[in-house]
Amino acid sequence: MKNFCGCPGSKTVEFQKAETPEGAATAKVNSQLRQWPIQLHLVSPEAPYFKGADVLLAADCAPFAIGNFHDDFLKGKSLAIACPKLDEGQDAYVEKIRALFDDAQINTLTVVIMQVPCCRGLLSLAVQALRKSRRKAPIRYVVAGLQGDVLQEGWVEEGAVALPGS
């Protein structure tokens, strides 16, 4: 793939990982998922698990890339997932996130996205929703690398955030 052109998020990349030897001890990791459904189109901001909650809005790919996603990000939070590149009806996403701020009166919103350019759209949707909401709550963002390392994290200030490469 020497002459790749197109969306960097669609570029083929293979990671070389050491395999776990057969018979090696592995610890079972418990799920931290607290509710269902989790897809942003399907969740209801009126659900009791969103009321006054710390909410995690994660890009669909993030839990697969971040090895310890459940303990590092999901623990103690209510969850919604979305893909800003593939999901349709993003105006509905802005309205749902706005309703989380105004109606569910969430405590905080953490947005976990991947480093690929299309993922920035999810954070943008959250900022748009915050601008439209009557009630304000802090938005934290985390940008993960393709192999799950945290590249950047911070807080949205006054409805604006600058990400690398933007």
Overall CATH class of domain 32-155: alpha beta
pLDDT of residue 104: 97
Question: Which range, of 10-24, 36-50, 67-81, averages the lowest pLDDT?
Answer: 10-24
Amino acid at 125: L
Mean pLDDT of 135-153: 95
Q: Is the pTM of this model over 0.75?
A: yes
Measure the CA–CA gap between 110 and 149, rounded to whole angstroms.
17
* Nearest alpha carbon to residue 81 among 105, 125, 124, 111: 111
Measure the CA–CA gap between 113 and 141, rounded to whole angstroms.
8
Please give the angle made by the CA atoms of 87, 91 and 92, to the nearest 5 degrees. Answer: 80
pLDDT of residue 2: 59
**Strand order across the 108-114 sheet:** 78-82, 54-59, 108-114, 139-144, 150-155
Residue 9 binned pLDDT confidence (cut-offs 50, 70, 90): low
Which residue is associated with the tokens 């897809």? Answer: 39
Which residue is associated with the tokens 């990349």? Answer: 13
Distance of CA 114 to the CA centre of its chain: 8
